[in-house]
Amino acid sequence: MAAFLPLLGEAAEKEDTTFVVKDKKIVVDVDGSKTNVKVFGNDGVEQTKVSEMNFVDGQEVEQVYVGSPFLPTSNLQHIDFAPRYPTVWFGMANITGKVFGTSQLHHARFSKSFEFGVTPYYMSVPFNKQNSMGLSIAAQLVWSHLCFQKDYVVTETGGKWDFVKMDQRADGNNINYMSFRLPMMFTVDGSYDFYLGLGLSPEIRTNAWYKMKGNISADETYKLNRMGLNMSVVWGIGPLVFSGSLGLTPLFKTVNGKKAYQNSCSVGVDVLSLVKLINSGKKKNKNKIDF
């Protein structure tokens, strides 16, 4: 009986009820019509949350994870299923002549073409009680820098692009534009913190800023297709995120009827996962010292 007195005192102080079953601690908290059940497991170093369920009027409430690197971690919901999007990423980009194409569009240049992006907000909804799969959605801002062969000047008329051969080479020949992407992914969380996601990513684009540097210079604004759709995939381990984007709709059309599609492959870091990993390491070290 004496062994249960500390648990009863803790329950009275926190206005909840705690049960210990084998190596699991079960905490039940009732707040009006809402009942919250948490299960903690002991890994030999510290007690970690195994699962959490909420019931309102006898019905289980679905949990949604909302994350942003610009909010304090104490203000976020931390459940086992969390989306994995790179908070910041950098990758290579190119322009192909068809969907899922591997060869570049004529006069496009893969060298020094890149994209840079940030993910300020994302959320997810799990599909099962094990929190191993679910649907996630994110808001992303992307800067794209695409290069062209230095001996071709780019022109645009009525939304159609043309490439005109020059007798001399420029020092630089590229376009820059920004886009807002809204990726919607089906995500699976595996063992060892491995995850994989696949889905679609609609995007809204600005116009392109065209620049040519050298003896022949140009500084123009060209039209891009305002709306676009990409196929997106993310995979990785822990806070390290690899991602790929394949254009399903054209970025622009050329005067000869060819269409241009943008693809990219990048690597980034999920800041929230990185902070969680660092905090977990600090807690384990603290518990070892206390022990």
Res. 10 pLDDT band, cuts 50 70 90? very low
Q: What band does 284 get if pLDDT is binned at 50, 70 and 90?
A: low
Task: Tell me which residue has tokens 């950098």.
Answer: 90
The token pair that represents 267 in the structure block? 């690597």
Q: How far is CA 146 from CA 201, 211, 263, in A?
A: 20, 11, 11
**pLDDT confidence tier of residue 281, bands split at 50, 70 and 90:** low
Q: CA–CA separation, 38 vs 220, rounded Å?
A: 59
Helices (H) and strands (E) in the chain, counts: 2, 20
Task: Supply the pTM of this predicted model.
Answer: 0.69
Q: What token pair was written down for 184?
A: 């919607």
Residue 203: band (very low, low, confident or very high) from pLDDT cuts 50, 70, 90: very high
Ordered strands of the 34-42 beta sheet: 17-21, 24-31, 34-42, 47-56, 59-61
CATH for 10-61 (1.10.405, 2.20.25, 1.10.1060, 3.30.1330): 2.20.25
Least confident of 42-46, 191-195, 228-232: 42-46
Residue 183 has pLDDT above 90, yes or no: yes
- pLDDT tens, position by position, 206-226: 999 999 988 777 889 999 999
Q: What angle do CA 267, 270, 271 make, to 5 degrees?
A: 130
More confident residue, 67 or 112: 112
Cα–Cα distance list, 124 to 17, 51, 158, 183, 274 (Å):
30, 16, 41, 12, 18
pLDDT, tens digit (0-9, with 9 covering 90-100), for 73-131: 444 444 456 677 899 999 999 999 889 877 778 888 888 899 999 999 888 888 887 77
C-alpha R_g of the chain? 26
Residue 208: per-residue pLDDT: 95
Q: Which fold has domain 88-272?
A: Porin (2.40.160)
Rounded to whole angstroms, the Cα distance separating 160 from 250 reads 12
- Cα separation, 233 vs 201, in Å, equals 10
Name the token pair of 119: 């993910």
Residue 252 CB neighbour total at 10 angstroms: 22
Ranges for all domains in the chain classified under CATH 2.40.160 = 88-272
Q: 54 pLDDT exceeds 50?
A: yes
Decide if pLDDT at 134 tops 60.
yes
274 CB burial (10 A radius; 0-12, 13-18, 19+): middle
For the chain, residues classed under CATH 2.20.25 are 10-61
- Asked if pLDDT for residue 47 goes beyond 60, the answer is no
Under the banding of pLDDT at 50, 70 and 90, the label for residue 229 is very high
Q: How far apart are CA 62 and CA 69, in angstroms?
A: 23
pLDDT at 78 (0 to 100): 43
